[in-house]
Structure 1
Amino acid sequence: MSRLSVEIDLFTATGSAAVIAGGLVAAVARPLDLAKGSWLAAYLVLVCGVALIAIGIAQQRAPQPMSARFHASQLTGWIAANALVIAGSLTDTPAVVDVGSILLLVVLAATWRAGLRLLGSKAPAAYAYLAVLTVLIVSVPIGMVLASR
Structure 2
Amino acid sequence: MSAHDTRVLPGGPFLIVGGAGIVAGGLVAAVTGPLQLEHGSWAAAYLVLVGGVAQIALGASQGALAARSPSTAVLATELAAWNLGSALVIGGTLVRNPVIVDIGGAALVLALGVMAHTVRGGTGPRLSRWTYRGALAVLLAGIPIGLVLAHLRAP
Per-residue deviation, 1:139: 0.4
Change (3 A) 1:8 1:78: closer
Matched residue, 2:141: 138
Change (3 A) 1:40 1:75: same
Matched residue, 2:16: 13
Distance (Å, rounded) in 2 between the aligned partners of 1:60 and 1:115: 8
Which of the numbers 103, 107, 117 marks the counterpart of 1:113?
A: 117
Per-residue deviation, 1:78: 1.2
2:72 is aligned with 1:68 = yes
Q: Which has the higher contact order (CA 8 A, sep 6+)?
A: 2
Count of residues in correspondence between the two structures: 144
Q: How does 1:1-149 map to 2 (within 5 A)?
A: 9-61=12-64, 62-118=66-122, 120-149=123-152
Q: Which moved more, 1:81-90 or 1:124-133?
A: 124-133
Q: Secondary structure at the match of 1:142?
A: helix
Change (3 A) 1:116 1:7: closer
Contact residue 109 and residue 137 of structure 1 kept, 8 A: no
Segments of 5+ residues of structure 1 without an aligned counterpart are none
Identity %: 41
Change (3 A) 1:15 1:117: farther
User: RMSD value over aligned CA atoms?
Assistant: 1.8
Stretches (4+) displaced over 4 A: none
Change (3 A) 1:69 1:52: same
Q: Secondary structure at the match of 1:31?
A: helix
Q: Secondary structure at the match of 2:34?
A: coil
Contact residue 63 and residue 117 of structure 1 kept, 8 A: yes
Query: Structure 1: which amino acid aligns with 2:96?
Result: D
Per-residue deviation, 1:17: 0.5
Per-residue deviation, 1:19: 0.6
Segments of 5+ residues of structure 2 without an aligned counterpart are 2-8
Normalising by structure 1, what TM-score? 0.89
Query: Structure 2: which amino acid aligns with 1:95?
Result: V
Distance (Å, rounded) in 1 between the aligned partners of 2:110 and 2:133: 15
Contact residue 108 and residue 133 of structure 1 kept, 8 A: yes
